[in-house]
Every structure is written in C-alpha cells, then in structure tokens.
C-alpha cells in the first residue's frame, strides 16, 4: 500500500494561506510590507459611501431586499442609509442656495 506524502508547508502560519490566494510570486512583497502587523478585518468589504452610491444606482432596478442581500445588510438598514444620504443632500443643497 502506497502512502500519500503530505506537502510540507513552505510558509509559516497564515502566510501559507495568503500565498495560496495571492500567489507565491507576491508573498515576499506582502511579507515585507506587513510583517509584524496584526490585522482585524471588518465584516463588510465595501465602504458605507460606496454602498450608498450603489443603492442609489440600483434603486428602481432591483428590489431593496436584493440590494441588501448583495451587501450583507438588512433591508431596514439599507433604507436608513438611503434616508440619511437623502437628508444630507437636502441640507447640502440648502446651504448652496443661501
């Protein structure tokens, strides 16, 4: 019976996983730039400003529920972001008129 030999990891800890994603040719650059740092990544990938921009762009083309699901927010929160953005625009427009 032949025993399958496991591959010996080349990189320490999380660097092995990162190398799988970004490629071995870029892991050295990543290491030099970020070595010694600790990361805590936000649960949301996109900035709130970008999400609001996309909500406005998609509004009327897609259901709010689909937009909310796309960005990982509740429908209620999507509506709240949209309302806050609209209020802010109204205030800014009022200041320009003065």
Distance (Å, whole) CA 98 – CA 88: 16
pLDDT single digits (tens) 69-82: 999 999 999 999 99
Domain boundaries, the chain: 9-40, 48-97
Q: What is the pLDDT of residue 35?
A: 95
pLDDT single digits (tens) 10-45: 999 899 999 999 999 999 999 999 999 999 999 999
Distance (Å, whole) CA 6 – CA 4: 6
Helix (H/G/I), strand (E/B), else coil: 18:
helix
């Amino acid at each position: 019976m032949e025993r399958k030999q496991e591959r010996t990891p080349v990189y320490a800890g999380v660097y092995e996983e990162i190398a799988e994603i970004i490629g071995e040719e870029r892991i050295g650059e990543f290491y030099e730039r970020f070595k010694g740092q600790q990361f805590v990544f936000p649960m949301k990938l996109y900035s709130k400003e970008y999400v609001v921009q996309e909500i406005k762009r998609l509004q009327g083309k897609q259901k709010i529920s689909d937009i909310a699901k796309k960005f990982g927010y509740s429908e209620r929160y999507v509506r709240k972001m949209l309302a806050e953005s609209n209020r802010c625009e109204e205030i800014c427009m009022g200041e320009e008129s003065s």
